[in-house]
Amino acid sequence: MVTQKTSLSSPATDPLRNFKFQVILTPLNATGAGGGGTSITLGFMTVQGLAANIDSIPYREGNMNTVTQQMPGQTSFNPITLSHGVICGQTGGPLEVNMLQQIFTVNQGSGTQAPGMNFRYKADIQVLDHPVTTQDAPVKAWFIVHNAWTTAFAWGDLDAGANQTLVAQLSMVHEGFDVSYAAGVGTSAASAPDTLQ
């Protein structure tokens, strides 16, 4: 007689796939709240750098000389790096160029935005269900990145001997993120609490 082992995998025990995701960038208005402009939904090749680091403050006293006391200090967040293939004919122009011109407005007053406009974004990074292929696929993990703005741009090397696509890359610093996961199979993650709005 064949018996089923309880250790067999199932959809409930499958880890999330990391290759199906979308990024929604929403410009912030002057007060820092969302909705300052039209959201842009994009498919990127890679999203890297979702990490937080908490500094430790070591402290010692004369009567506690066997160990060094460790206390939590400031928290820093790694820049996130977004990569995508360069596509001609994008509505509104290339994203990375538009963001660069927004920063020029802040730095030297010669960009495309009015002085005083907020150059920051709220970034929603949504990991989608697999293998659902519809536009409204359930969101299985949802990261909300607060006050992101672009600090670095790079384009891939041009090489006549290569067999590759031209890739653009932008790095964004931010002030933290919230994350929520779906409760289980067949459900979607709720929007993470947006504490800055």
Instruction: Flag whether 46 is in a domain.
Output: yes
Residue 72 lies in a domain: yes
Closest CA to 150 of 109, 100, 77, 84: 100
pLDDT tens profile 152-181: 989 999 999 999 999 999 999 999 999 999
pTM: 0.83
Domain extent at residue 170: 21-52+68-181
Q: 46: how many CB neighbours lie within 10 A of its CB?
A: 14
In a domain, 59, yes or no: no
Comparing 42 with 30, the larger pLDDT belongs to 42
| Count of structural domains within the chain | 1
Position 160 in a domain:
yes
- Is residue 40 domain-resident? yes
Q: Is the pLDDT of residue 33 over 80?
A: no
Q: Domain of 137: which CATH number?
A: 2.30.110.20
Please say if the pLDDT value at position 5 is more than 70: no
Asked if residue 75 is part of any domain, the answer here is yes
Between 64 and 174, the higher pLDDT residue: 174
Strand partners, 47: 82
